Amino acid sequence: MTDPSRRRAGRPPTMKEIAERAGVHVSTVSRVLRQSEPVDGWSEAAQRVREVADELGYRPNPWAASLRTRRTTTIGAVMPRLTDGVVATIYQGVEEAARAAGYSVLLSSPPDEPAEQRAAIELLAGRQVDGLILSSLHSPATDFVDDLSLSVPVVALNRHANSGLPFAGGDDRLGGRLAGEHLVDCGYRRIAAVGGPLFATTGADRLTGFLDAMRDAGMPVPDDRIAHARMDVQGGIDAARTLLDRDDRPDAVFCVSDTMAIGLLGVARDLGLTIPDDLGLVGYNDIPVAAQLPVPLTTIVTPAHRIGEAGVQLLLQLIAGTEVPADVRLPVELTERGSTRRRPRSETQPQ
């Protein structure tokens, strides 16, 4: 937890700092502090927020308050990796939901680096938007999330990054579990996984769900069958070279993104491996090309468009001063295709 005593001298308290001291969610702090005057019948939690804000030296920003009284009906969206099909579909959901609610969207798609994300957030916040949607936050994201203006409602999408912000995304732990259970049910026994980089909480959640399923099946995955790489084609290639080019290669692999799985497919082909007989493969996200590959990819379907819509719904509720859930997880499902097959019992081998 953030220790308010360690705040930089002269810096006003952040929403997260007030929330932690008051023992409430950040959305409650945002809602309470947007009220310029005390309201009769305030809850005990709201009164506590006001008391903590006073203790920490919070002072309303008159300029920000004036913005709240004349809304711009514009929201800002910071979405790195917009060239990624899943992120682009999430943004499509954001755009359509915002337009349906009478809002326009200012979009920034910076490089997937914390410093670039911070600069984009600060730029859009300065454009007098009514709220912000932040996609693909790095973990931990608190370094710059803590510094965001208290007057601007913010929602996180796709990667939650332990930011303390209201969040909308797919149920990635469930998706990883579904992948693991499917491979076990197919009869694969030497199963490996390709996880994403450590800052990508989506990949971490998917990997955690997969490892939980394997452990529950009595088949825990050893560390040397887990590779971490970038969540793109090159990352899949790099991980495949680590996992497949060895005598005790796995007979199935779960990749936390379809693009990783595509990279792995190329290496498997070069090694003379046949999919799914020599190697079963499960990806994640169901990008459009997944069903069109020479061997169609079994994958976890992410409701990308609905994630974007859910993010806008959360943000509009925050803008209106309504309490929102801290975490909205949308259901995912497995689509079985040609990259996995049900193996006869005679073909299954122990670990």
CB 199 within 8 A of CB 165: no
Look at residue 4 in the predicted model and tell me its pLDDT.
44
328: helix, coil or strand? strand
Residue of 258, 226, 260 whose CA lies nearest to 242: 226
Going residue by residue through the chain (351 aa), what tens digit of pLDDT does each one get?
A: 444 444 444 466 777 888 888 888 877 887 777 665 555 555 788 888 888 888 887 766 544 554 445 678 899 999 888 888 888 999 999 999 999 999 999 999 988 777 788 788 888 888 888 999 988 776 555 555 666 544 678 898 876 656 678 889 999 999 999 999 999 999 999 999 999 876 666 788 999 999 999 999 999 999 999 999 988 899 999 999 999 988 899 999 999 999 999 999 999 999 999 999 999 999 999 999 999 999 999 999 999 999 999 999 999 998 888 888 878 999 999 999 999 998 776 555 544
Burial class of 213 by CB neighbour count within 10 A (0 to 12, 13 to 18, 19+) = buried
The CA angle 247-263-244, to the nearest 5 degrees, is: 5
Q: Is the CB of residue 93 less than 8 Å from the CB of residue 306?
A: yes
The CATH number of domain 1-60, selected from 3.40.630, 1.10.260, 3.30.70, 1.10.287: 1.10.260
For residue 113, how many other CB atoms are within 10 A of its CB? 12
Q: Report the side by side order of strands in the sheet with 191-195.
A: 226-228, 191-195, 252-255, 280-285, 298-301, 333-335
Instruction: Say if CB 180 and CB 192 are below 8 A apart.
Output: no
pLDDT of 278: 95
Vertex 175: Cα angle to 173 and 180 (nearest 5): 95
Token couple for 166: 């209201």
Which letter, b or e, does each residue of 159-180 get, where b requires 16 or more Cβ atoms within 10 Å of its Cβ?
bbbebbbbbbbbbbbbbbbbbb
- Looking at domain 172-303+334-347, which CATH architecture does it have? 3-Layer(aba) Sandwich (3.40)
Identify the bridge partners of residue 335 per DSSP, sorted by sequence position: 299
Which residues are within 8 A (CB) of 309 and not within 5 positions of it... i.e. 6 or more apart?
Answer: 93, 94, 96, 97
Its pTM stands at 0.76
Residue 227: what pLDDT?
95
pLDDT at 164: 73
The single residue listed with the structure tokens 């793109």 is: 232
Q: What's the confidence (pLDDT) of residue 113?
A: 78
User: Look-up: residue for tokens 């993104």?
Assistant: 257
pLDDT of residue 346: 54
Give residue 84's pLDDT. Answer: 81
The verdict on whether omega for the bond into residue 140 sits within 30 degrees of 0, i.e. cis, is yes
DSSP characters over 246-310: STT--SEEEESSHHHHHHHHHHHHHTTPPTTTT-EEEEEE--GGGGGSSSPPEEEEP-HHHHHHH
- Enter the tokens of residue 273: 């491996």
Give the pairing type, strands 298-301 and 333-335.
Answer: antiparallel
The residues near 291 (Cβ < 8 Å, ≥ 6 apart) are 297, 337
pLDDT for position 192: 98
Q: Which pLDDT does position 151 carry in this prediction? A: 64
Q: Which two tokens stand for residue 229?
A: 């790489």
Alpha carbon 275 to chain centroid, angstroms: 30
Angle, CA 160 vertex, CA 13 and CA 332 arms, to 5° = 155
Domains of the chain by residue range: 1-60, 172-303+334-347
